[in-house]
Structure 1
Amino acid sequence: MKTNYHFQVRWGDTDAAGIVYYPNFYKWMDDATHAYLAAIGYPSSELFEKQKIGVPLLEANCIFKRPLLFEDQVVVKSYVEELHNKVFKIKHVFVRGDQVVAEGYGVRAWTSFKEEKPKAQPIPDNIREKMLPQVEAVEG
């Protein structure tokens, strides 16, 4: 299962030529990650408020295939590509119409903020179960 995060490119997301400034892709991947967590029933705000759990970013990458422009309608299709004990890799595919315009990922750690120093924790089984069906086979 993939979740879909929809947005429209705003003028402030672009440079003087009307092309999206590349750091915005990372912002949208972050937004899509939080939308993914909400879609599987674990909104980031509730995780942090009730359990002091966050999912800080350890690594991110994005490959740009085509430019996005002001007012483009975009869907970010997200799914867990790898699931480990304390860490997961979430893939994001940016689609405009029928074109893939970018692909990226974020590696995130399931982290407790209960103590003074954040510490990675095992992803609870009930949450892993929600993520597992979304792990997609990687062809190679």
Structure 2
Amino acid sequence: MAREVVYTVNVEFGDCDPAKIVWFPNFFRWIDAASRNFFVQCGVPTWTETEATRGIIGTPLVDTKAKFIAVATYGDTLYIHTSIPEWRTKSFVQRYRVTKDGDTIMECEEVRIFAGKREGGGIRALPIPEDIRALCD
């Protein structure tokens, strides 16, 4: 079973649309924060440090799939359960389950890479660092 880290979000008034439900892009903002929080909780240094020491600038998203099951609104507390069920050579799958009051309200799966700068501009996928993988398993 993959390691799971939980990130907590308190829904604010400004997170909601005129229908008083969370505007869907906010879920992706929170999931991105939960992704970084996962690595922090596993003991991975900041991306500033990994860039300086290893050339790793972060873990950008290359694919995503989401399923919205129920709504959230102002005052709700959401829990984003984050795990990495699959490691590949140069990418990994990060899975998220957003819960409210114990019920799943959203599921998301992303493919991310460990990225480095490409000579001449842009980024490139780097092999998954074994020590970082070991911290996160």
- TM-score over 0.5 for the alignment? yes
Task: State which of 67, 90, 93 in structure 2 corresponds to 1:89.
Answer: 93
Identity of aligned residues (%): 27
Which SS does the other structure have where 1:70 is aligned?
A: coil
Aligned to 1:36: 38
- 1:71 and 2:75 equivalent? yes
Q: Deviations over 1:22-54 (max 9, x none)?
A: 111111110100000111111334323443312
In structure 2, C-alpha distance between the alignment counterparts of 1:71 and 1:45, rounded to whole Å: 34
Aligned to 1:7: 9
Aligned to 1:109: 113
In structure 1, C-alpha distance between the alignment counterparts of 2:27 and 2:104, rounded to whole Å: 13
Aligned to 1:120: 125
Q: TM-score, normalised by structure 2?
A: 0.88
Moved over 6 A (4+): none
Q: Deviations over 1:76-119 (max 9, x none)?
A: 00000211011001000001111111010211011112633311
**Which consecutive unaligned segments of at least 5 residues does structure 2 have?**
none
| Shift in CA distance, 45/35, structure 1 to aligned 2, threshold 3 Å | farther
Residue 130 of structure 1 deviates from its aligned partner by 2.2
- 1:16 and 2:14 equivalent? no
RMSD: 1.5
**Which consecutive unaligned segments of at least 5 residues does structure 1 have?**
134-140
How many pairs were matched up?
A: 132
In structure 1, C-alpha distance between the alignment counterparts of 2:60 and 2:17, rounded to whole Å: 28
Aligned to 1:61: 65
